[in-house]
Amino acid sequence: MSHKILVYAEVRNGKLKSTTGETLAEARKMMGGKTENIHAVLLGEGCEQHAKTVATFGASKIYVVDAPETNTYQGEPTLQALDQIIKKNGYTVVVGPGSPTGRAFFPHLAIRNKGAMLTDVLSFSLDGETVVAEMAMYLGKCLKQAASNASVTFITLRPNVRPSEVADANAQPHVEKFSCNFDKSKMTAKVVEVRKGNSERPDLTEASIIVSGGRAIGSKDNFKILFECADVVHGSVGASRAAVDSGYAPYDMQVGQTGKTVNPGLYVACGISGSIQHLSGMRTSKCIVAINTDGDAPIFQKADYGIVADLFQAVPILTRELKKMTE
């Protein structure tokens, strides 16, 4: 059996997500650098503008579903479009980002295609014709491998596990416009309003730089100094469970076992002691900087760099120095 891979290239608010390059890079690795059987799909009105970028990442064919039904987060239209493309073209591996959208759609697609579902994958490869995926377990303390011989294997790749790599900067997109036959009788949900958040910061799970605060931050208002620091480097802001439970930050900022798992290039932990529950959500960060007044805090055992200091003194200094570097 010769594998055919379909990559879901996610577009949000008219912008192509950075996870597309990461996912296609992993797909190329799986196929030994060959791209002829690696295809991608773009959904939503005006999405064809991203076809050139997707092609440079190694997609030899790009399906464009320029349909208003797939513009916003409506599960059924998107599922129907992806399902029809998968079934019509006989894909054996379907890969997408481990984003909220990917995590929501892919299990449904696996059920509809009687396929296997591998989630939060760090990397994937082939062992003969068997799809092998590597995932973290036991709070990230060890890795496991899962194998699939299903007719179709669905994979969500954890964001930021590998860099985006351009395969051919001069690649010209081979675009195939796909007309989806929507079954509107199954579209029982309707989006009546979309309320955008006030922040233009990247999603926490996809941010390359994260500045997080713990209980020591003391109040919701004090998180302001972390936001100021993160904004200098176009990063995002996270929080420990203790900070969330204390009412200093909303749950969607929580990093850890009961929150979000993140994998940034730089993670700055401010006033976070470093419980195993928190470490499980950020231990795979490329570089960890800890700021804490307690030099014996567990976070320093995991940190690449440690600053024993009051965060209210250290963070403003860090922000000031970062501004100098970016000016």
CATH number where 316 lies? 3.40.50.1220
Q: State how far the alpha carbon of 157 is from the alpha carbons of 21, 54, 102, 130, 165, in Å.
A: 12, 17, 9, 18, 15
Low-confidence ranges of the chain (pLDDT < 50): none
308 and 265: one domain?
yes
Same structural domain, 174 and 229: no
In this structure, are residues 230 and 236 in contact, taking their beta carbons and an 8 Å threshold? yes
Q: Is residue 193 part of a domain?
A: no
pLDDT given for residue 1 in this prediction = 60
The residue out of 143, 158, 186 marking a domain boundary is 186
Q: Which of 254, 226, 215 shows the shortest CA–CA distance to 314?
A: 226
Give every CB contact of residue 195 below 8 A, 6+ residues apart in sequence: none
pLDDT of residue 199: 64
pLDDT score, position 170:
94
Q: Which residues are annotated as a binding site for FAD?
A: 215, 240-241, 254-258, 271-278, 292
Residue at a domain's end among 122, 152, 186: 186
Do residues 210 and 168 both lie within one domain? no
Q: For residues 263 and 163, is the Cβ–Cβ distance under 8 A?
A: no
Instruction: Quote the pLDDT of residue 197.
Output: 65
Residue positions in the annotated binding site? 215, 240-241, 254-258, 271-278, 292
Same domain for 127 and 223? no
In terms of residue numbers, what domain contains 233? 204-326
22/122 same-domain check: yes
- Which of 157, 186, 215 is the last residue before a domain boundary? 186
Residues 27 and 101 in one domain: yes
> What CATH number should be reported for the domain holding residue 78?
3.40.50.620
- The proportion of the chain whose per-residue pLDDT surpasses 90, expressed as a percent, equals 80
* Domain count along the chain: 2
Domain match, 41 and 161 both: yes
